[in-house]
Amino acid sequence: MKKLIRPAAAILILALALSLFACSNGRSAMKIGKTSFSEKVYAYYLTCYKQYWLSTFGQSDSESFWSSEYGGVRVDDYLQNVSDTAIKARLVSAFLFDFYKLQISESEETYVGRLLAGLVEAAGGEEALKSEEPFSSLNITKDDLYDILMIDSKAGALQDYLYGDDGVMKVTDQQRENYYQNKYYRFEHFYLMNYDYDLDENGNIKYDEEGHAQVVEISDARFEEKLALANEVLRRAESGEDFNALIDEYSEELSKSKYKNGHYLTVPNDYFAALSDEVTALKIGEYKLFQSELGIHIIHRIELDEGAWNKNSESGDFYNFEELVTEAAFKELTSSYYDRIVINEDVTGKYKISEMPSSPIWQYFM
């Protein structure tokens, strides 16, 4: 079953917002004010984070992974700290949801109820779900899962209250500009394919019924010809010729007309990994020629221009800009409450992320 993420809740789901009170039959793991997470809730979300990190990094649950080092720190210690910080953010979100006395609509409650019913049915029923790990060892009930799943709806309500059209803490243009200047890269891109376009008798590119440009395979000699062209374009650009003019004349990127001001990239992004990695490694003014599975590329990193987030919507590079800025603003807000959180280390110290069991439905809680 695929989880349906409501647009209003999507920003906060991973970074912040679990809303649960400590259960009467479990010790508190952490609390702020009257809002707390029980031991079993803390432990369960640590299992979810374990699976999230393994999936994110494409790793198996192995001693070699957890005992390896990242930045001079053991991976298990590093990811334990990152996960604990994320859980703190979720706790603060729960605290703020209650502080502002927000409510969840009946339609949202119905949505969560149906999602939970689907998860239980897929597990073979409530008793079958309870017998599975980690639910059995942590004593996680269907009611617990319902409360946890309410995070999507509560996060959305909180986000709308703070940052919606009538929000009490609207993101400002200055916050947008600061985020853009600190998080984005701007570059120009020259591209030659590993193929050639399939042309009709008039020299026009052929398209299929879905509007995709048709291509044909090329010989090694033709590829070497393209590579030689790319090297010549690089030489001319580094000698001072207008790189944009060279892109207009020689680049095979069909959408190049949308990027007269360059491309804008942040991390994460929808560009393929090889291009993203090369751009973020460049200094302003540097060029780089490289090959990928898509073809031959020349990139040129250039300085950011002021306010690009507000005037380059056609390119699509800023399609999720508002979400990213809002998420950053909320993260800054929640982190300001961390020093008010009381951690019960007798509880949290019992659990190491590398030793947690797997949850079969972890992705529905991340």
Q: Give the separation between CA 160 and CA 257, rounded to whole angstroms.
A: 36
Buried (b) or exposed (e) across 75-92, using 16+ Cβ within 10 A? Answer: bbebbbeebbebbbbbbb
Report how far apart the first and last C-alpha atoms of the chain are (Å, whole number).
Answer: 15
- The single residue listed with the structure tokens 């679990």 is 18
List the domain boundaries for the chain: 7-170+321-365, 185-303
What Cα–Cα distance (Å) separates residue 19 from each residue in 149, 154, 249?
9, 7, 56
Mean pLDDT confidence for 71-96: 94
| pLDDT given for residue 313 in this prediction | 67
pLDDT (tens digit, 9 = 90+) per residue, 57-74?
999 999 999 999 998 999
Looking at the chain, the whole-number percentage of residues with pLDDT higher than 90 is: 77
pLDDT (tens digit, 9 = 90+) per residue, 181-216?
999 999 999 999 999 999 999 989 999 988 888 999
DSSP single-letter state for residue 69: E
Tell me how many helices (H) and strands (E) the chain has: 16, 11
Work out the angle between the directed axes of helices 321-335 and 75-99 (0-180°, nearest 10).
90
From 4, 44, 3, select the one nearest 20 (Cα to Cα). Answer: 44
Domain boundaries 185-303, corresponding CATH code: 3.10.50.40
C-beta atoms surrounding 72 within 10 Å:
6
Tokens of 275: 């291009």
Q: How confident is the model at residue 84 (pLDDT cuts 50, 70, 90)?
A: very high
Q: How confident is the model at residue 292 (pLDDT cuts 50, 70, 90)?
A: very high
Q: Give the separation between CA 288 and CA 278, rounded to whole angstroms.
A: 8
* Residue 18 confidence (pLDDT) above 90: no
Q: Give the separation between CA 366 and CA 362, rounded to whole angstroms.
A: 7
Collapsed DSSP state (helix, strand, coil) of residue 56: helix
For all residues of the chain together, what is the average pLDDT? 89
C-beta atoms surrounding 68 within 10 Å:
13
Position 263: which residue type? H
* Residue 92 confidence (pLDDT) above 80: yes
Mean pLDDT confidence for 312-320: 82
Q: What is the pTM of this model?
A: 0.77
CB 332 within 8 A of CB 179: no
Taken in order 28, 31, 34, 40, the sign of the CA dihedral is: negative
Mean pLDDT confidence for 97-110: 94
Q: Strand 342-343 to strand 69-70: parallel, antiparallel, or no bridges (unpaired)?
A: unpaired
* Residue 4 confidence (pLDDT) above 90: no
Q: Give the separation between CA 83 and CA 64, rounded to whole angstroms.
A: 20
* Residue 6 confidence (pLDDT) above 70: no
- Name the helix (H) or strand (E) containing 302: strand 295-302
Position 229: which residue type? L
* Residue 3 confidence (pLDDT) above 50: no
